Amino acid sequence: MDTKKRPSPFQTTAPLILASGSPRRQDFLRTLGLKFEVVVSHVEEAPFMDGDPARYALEMAEAKARAVSCSHPRSWVVAADTIVIIGHEVLGKPKTEKEAISMLGRLSGRWHEVITAFCLLHHEKGAAYKKAVQSRVKIKKLTTAEVTSYVVTGEPMDKAGAYAVQGIGAFMVEKIEGSYTNVVGLPLSELIGAMQAVGIIRPRVACSD
Residues involved in catalysis: 81
Could you tell me which of 64, 35, 34, 209 has the C-alpha nearest to residue 130? Answer: 64
Q: What is the DSSP string of 9-78?
A: SEEE-S-EEE----HHHHHHHHHTT---EE-------PPP-SS-HHHHHHHHHHHHHHHHHTT-TTSEEE
Question: First vs last Cα of the chain: how many Å apart?
Answer: 30
Residues 192, 194, 196: CA angle, nearest 5 degrees? 70
Q: What is the torsional sign of CA 6, 167, 28, 39?
A: negative
How far apart are the C-alpha atoms of 2 and 8, rounded to whole Å?
A: 16
CB atoms within 10 A of CB 24: 17
